[in-house]
């Protein structure tokens, strides 16, 4: 069956908010791209703020799913922490990440107090939280997580600046690995 208006809106918003920026994307543009009535946006999300929040929430959901799928295949604690990079490469191959992290971008663009801000912060909290769980078994877990988090955020920005995912993500993985091993 045809996807619901809600889903179509969310997909269109995702592409536009991520590609052109949140402030630069009008509700009208989302409506046009989704091929949907303006009212449907307000029926489903209550307004642009709600739409932005749902957009980040959905992206968070999708990311966690692909990461978990990849992490499940990792055997050792080392491979498990480094699975963020494998998941990221997978993510880039079918979604692209040439605008960096949508949640960091959200934090930059949204005014303090915007409902979507806490979603973005929760996304990042979850990142280090989950990294710590996956690193269990390694010595100095906190140190490892802090290092991996730096490299992870860094590679996202580098891609935003035009770096090739296929080249830079493996490099980041290696970088994080030697940081963990050569301590």
Q: Could you give the dihedral angle defined by the CA atoms of residues 151, 155, 158 and 162, in that order, rounded to the nearest 10 degrees?
A: 170
Shortest gap between Cβ of 56 and DNA (angstroms)? 16
Which of 19, 35, 96, 137 binds DNA (CB under 7 A)? It is: 35
Shortest gap between Cβ of 8 and DNA (angstroms)? 7
Question: What is the number of helices (H) and of strands (E) in the chain?
Answer: 9, 0
Partner that binds at residue 6, options DNA, a copy of itself, none, CB closer than 5 to 8 Å by kind: DNA
CB burial of residue 75 (10 Å; 0-12, 13-18, 19+): exposed
Partner that binds at residue 36, options DNA, a copy of itself, none, CB closer than 5 to 8 Å by kind: DNA
Pairwise CA distance, residues 63 & 120, whole Å: 13
Residues of this chain that bind a copy of itself (CB under 8 A): 20-21, 23-24, 99-101, 104-105, 107-112, 121, 124, 143, 146-147, 149-158, 160-161, 168, 171-172, 175, 178-179, 181-183
From the list 160, 103, 155, 99, the residue with the least C-alpha distance to 126 is: 103
167 is a contact residue toward DNA (CB under 7 A): no
Shortest gap between Cβ of 140 and a copy of itself (angstroms)? 12
Closest to DNA by CB, 47 vs 96, is 47
User: What angle is formed at CA 143 by the lines to CA 129 and CA 65, rounded to 5 degrees?
Assistant: 30
């Amino acid at each position: 069956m045809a996807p619901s208006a809600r889903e179509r809106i969310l997909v269109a918003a995702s592409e536009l908010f991520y590609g052109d920026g949140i402030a630069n994307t009008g509700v009208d543009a989302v409506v046009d791209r989704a091929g949907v009535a303006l009212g449907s946006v307000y029926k489903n999300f209550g307004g642009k703020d709600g739409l932005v929040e749902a957009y980040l929430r959905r992206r968070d959901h999708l990311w966690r799913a692909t990461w978990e799928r990849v992490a499940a295949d990792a055997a050792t604690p080392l491979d498990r922490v480094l699975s963020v990079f494998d998941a990221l490469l997978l993510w880039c191959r079918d979604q692209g990440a040439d605008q960096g992290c949508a949640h960091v971008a959200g934090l930059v663009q949204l005014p303090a107090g915007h409902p979507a801000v806490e979603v973005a912060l929760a996304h990042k909290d979850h990142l280090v939280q989950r990294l710590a769980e996956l690193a269990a078994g390694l010595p100095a877990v906190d140190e490892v997580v802090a290092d991996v988090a730096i490299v992870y955020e860094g590679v996202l920005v580098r891609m935003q600046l035009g770096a090739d995912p296929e080249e830079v993500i493996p490099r980041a993985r290696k970088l994080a690995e030697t940081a963990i091993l050569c301590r």
